[in-house]
């Protein structure tokens, strides 16, 4: 069956990618090679998103990504070239592609994290974040394909019993964040 309405989740991802790509490339003129490179970079960005924790181990900060299903490991970013070793004629093209990728990353990361955060009306009670759960921490200015993952170590409930702040253990150390800056990965 090849009808788009049978696709479900992957067709939704294609729609989101097309929308962000359109907004990222709106006034940009790219050659075929530049567009192909930009599309490969954007594909890697989309396939780097965390889906679910790989293990229940509280010391494991690795998450299953679409890249694991495609190539057997998580996607890695292409190292950025240093300006000193690069042909000056190529730099404007590389910077243009890099700007497209960064613009796409900023838009898409915010939307993906908002999808993970369950928003419900205040009239219905939703469960609190549990200790040991894996979360994606919303951090500004992260480079493309870098996700800040951590495990909830401690929760701080408000007077009403709802968790407002959590202490998260990440690979870089322990941080405190309000729960609206956290997106719980589904198990």
Are 22 and 94 found together in one domain?
A: yes
In the block, tokens 């401690």 appear at: 154
Are 78 and 138 found together in one domain?
A: no
Residue 1: the pLDDT is: 47
Are 38 and 66 found together in one domain?
A: yes
Are 25 and 78 found together in one domain?
A: yes
Are 87 and 155 found together in one domain?
A: no
pLDDT tens column, 101-128: 888 888 878 777 777 666 555 556 677 8
Asked if residue 121 belongs to a domain, the reply is no
Residue 152: the pLDDT is: 92
Structure tokens at 134: 């894996």
Residue 123: the pLDDT is: 57
Are 8 and 60 found together in one domain?
A: yes
Are 21 and 67 found together in one domain?
A: yes
Are 107 and 179 found together in one domain?
A: no
Task: Give the chain's domain count.
Answer: 2
Are 38 and 65 found together in one domain?
A: yes
Q: In sequence order, which residues have a C-beta less than 8 Å from that of residue 113 and are 6 or more positions away? A: 136, 138, 183
- For 115-173, the three-class secondary structure string (H helix, E strand, C coil) is HHCCCCCCCCCCCCCCCCCEEEECCCCCCCCCCEEEEEEEEEECCCCCEEEEEEEECCE
pLDDT tens column, 167-185: 999 988 999 999 888 888 8
3-state DSSP assignment of residue 16: helix
Domain ends where: 116, 145, 171?
116
pTM of the model: 0.66
Are 83 and 146 found together in one domain?
A: no
Residue 10: the pLDDT is: 63
Asked if residue 128 belongs to a domain, the reply is no
In the block, tokens 């019993």 appear at: 161
Are 23 and 110 found together in one domain?
A: yes
Q: Which residues of the chain have pLDDT under 50?
A: 1, 84
Range of the domain at 111: 4-116
Asked if residue 123 belongs to a domain, the reply is no
């Amino acid at each position: 069956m090849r009808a788009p309405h049978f696709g479900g989740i992957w067709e939704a991802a294609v729609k989101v990618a097309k929308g962000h790509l359109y907004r990222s490339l709106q006034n940009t003129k790219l050659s075929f090679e530049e567009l192909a490179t930009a599309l490969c970079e954007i594909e890697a960005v989309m396939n780097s998103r965390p889906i679910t924790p790989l293990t229940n181990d509280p010391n494991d900060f690795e998450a299953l990504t679409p890249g694991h299903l495609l190539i057997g490991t998580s996607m890695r970013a292409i190292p950025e070239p240093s300006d000193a070793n690069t042909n000056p004629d190529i730099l404007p093209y590389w910077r243009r592609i890099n700007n497209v990728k960064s613009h796409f990353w900023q838009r898409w990361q915010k939307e993906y994290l908002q999808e993970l955060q369950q928003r419900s009306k205040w009239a219905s009670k939703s469960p609190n974040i549990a200790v040991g759960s894996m979360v994606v921490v919303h951090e500004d200015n992260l480079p493309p394909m870098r996700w800040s993952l951590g495990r909830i170590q401690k929760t701080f409930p408000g007077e009403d019993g709802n968790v407002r702040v959590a202490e998260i253990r990440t690979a870089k150390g322990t941080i405190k964040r309000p729960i609206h800056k956290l997106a719980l990965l589904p198990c």
